[in-house]
Amino acid sequence: MRAFGRLQPAQRRNLGILFVAGLLFWASLSALLPTLPLYVRDVGGTSQEVGLVMGAFSIGLLAFRPWLGRLADGHSRRIVLLIGMGAAGMAPLGYWLWDWIPWIALVRAFHGISIAAFATAYVTLVADFAPEEKRGEILGYMSLVNPMGVAIGPALGGFLQELAGYGPLFLFAALLGLVGFFCT
């Protein structure tokens, strides 16, 4: 943690904002991991359709990651981060909008773009902000957003779904993503 004490105030602020955005991103994304398969089942989906919807995430992730990496290098890492946070904030609303399985699968593929964009931009921005001599240590600390967010998200998502239903769950996941969007 001493590495952060030696940073300039602007570097510390930027990394702090990124850390908060990262926690919000991973909590938003993972709040739906235990609940989205249940939602697909509850709207009449079969086991195969649950697998299709959950696997559709990879389509967006794999199809867009190379393009987003080039955009981050050639234009702006911040724009790529905003694309990721924006997709994380909008996709949960798409699940809630219409409970038709093909639509849910399409929204899930769109949701995959969020991780393709966010993960790419987050790591590169952390590396950009960190001084070269402390880059490894700072990347180590900053990468804690993933396990922390993934630890918090499913518990919150499962609790909220059980307590209030899918609508509030999807609104909550969207809100986390949108707050992260405004942080960035």
pLDDT, tens digit, for every residue of 42-93? Answer: 999 999 999 999 999 999 999 999 999 999 999 999 999 999 999 999 999 9
Residue 135 · residue 79 · CB < 8 Å: no
Residue 4 CB neighbours (<10 A): 16
pLDDT beyond 70 at 1: no
Residue 145 · residue 23 · CB < 8 Å: yes
pLDDT beyond 90 at 6: no
**Per-residue pLDDT tens over the stretch 32-45:** 999 999 999 999 99
Among left, alpha and beta (phi > 0; psi -120 to 50; other), residue 7 is: beta
3-state secondary structure of 32: coil
pLDDT beyond 80 at 5: no
Domains defined for the chain, CATH in brackets? 48-139+168-184 (1.20.1250.20)
Maximum pairwise Cα distance, the chain: 55
* Residue in the structure block whose two tokens are 């804690």: 144
Residue 178 · residue 27 · CB < 8 Å: no
pTM over 0.85: yes
